[in-house]
Amino acid sequence: MVTAQVSQAPRISPLTIRERTGSISTAEIISVLKGETTGLHIRQAFSIEVAEEITENFARNPGLKERKDGVPGQYVGASHYTKDAATYFAEAENARPFVDALFGNLVDPVRGVFDALNRDLHNQGVELRLARSDRGQANICRAIRWSGTGRYALEPHDDVAQVLCAGRDCELPPVAKNTVAALNFYPSMAEEGGNLRIWSHKPTVTERKSQGVEATGYPYSTTYLEAVPCHDFQLNVGDIALIDGGFVHGVTRQSGNGKSRLLLNCFLGFARPDLVLWWT
Ligand SMILES: O=C(O)CCC(=O)C(=O)O
Ligand SMILES: [Fe+2]
């Protein structure tokens, strides 16, 4: 019997997941950067008091905006997604006071991780720094509340396509040859849902093209992912999740009529064996 040619099923890549309670270690972060761990979930990694204050500072932040790039959400900070370097770094500079205002006088947990990793990498002869251009430099993080109303609050996507397509005038694309790690802090969570779901699939450029998401990595259809195994990180306030952003991931629908999910996010990865870049 002659059958119509169907597009190839997504290639399965195994997930190496680690979940525990405590504080995040730089060795664990480096293990994700080196592609040895796919997903790391640290429960109770920063304090509830700090989480609550960041959440309040987000809600009353004068820099709080609605996303207008096709990804539903509200944010403080800058996203390099679909932007050229000139636009992204200029936006990052403009947003800096608002990102600083998320933390007020707090000891910032994101800066804490950055500083600890900086020390460890420095001892290994590796520089860690914020990505930059002649227009300015990246911020330490951005804060986002996803507002998708379908099956996912944030549709399944990968974080690598946007880095590959960041443009020639940008220092980020070389990172896409290595692991693009996504570091997430959760200052607020909805009563139910809002899981970070990661699928056993790390798309190639060809697979992205076949799904029409070559330049964005967003969104992959539910049909495409149907037969792919996945893992859900069930998150609570004060948790940190660090994933290999090359694997398809998304955020499940959230419900409950009280609190809503808030995320602090940044990306990091090796641009060269002696340089790790950090951006949003
Ligand atoms: O909200 C999350 O848990 C994941 C965020 C994410 O995937 C992203 O910002 O690219
Ligand atoms: Fe992502």
pLDDT confidence of residue 256? 83
Interior/surface letters 82-102, b for 16+ CB within 10 angstroms, e for the rest: bbebeebbebbeebbebbeeb
In the chain, the amino acid numbered 103 is F
CB 84 within 8 A of CB 167: yes
Calpha distance 155→170 (Å, rounded): 26
List, for residues 227-256, the tens digit of each pLDDT value: 999 999 999 999 999 999 999 999 999 998
**Residues of the chain where predicted confidence (pLDDT) is lower than 50:** 4-5
Q: What angle do CA 6, 8, 14 make, to 5 degrees?
A: 150
Complete DSSP assignment for 168-182: TT-S-GGGGGS--EE
Which residues have CB under 6 Å of ligand 1? 154, 159, 182, 184, 196, 249, 251, 263, 265
Write the residue with the smallest CA distance to atom 3 of ligand 1. 196
Complete DSSP assignment for 89-105: HHHHHHHHHHHHHHHTT
Calpha distance 276→244 (Å, rounded): 15
List, for residues 2-34, the tens digit of each pLDDT value: 554 456 789 999 999 999 999 999 999 999 999
Complete DSSP assignment for 148-159: --SSEEEEEE-S
Give the ligand at the shortest distance from the Cα of 266.
Answer: 1
CA of 5 to the centre of ligand 2 (A): 31
DSSP 8-class letter at 77: S
Question: What CATH class has 17-279?
Answer: mainly beta
pLDDT confidence of residue 1? 56
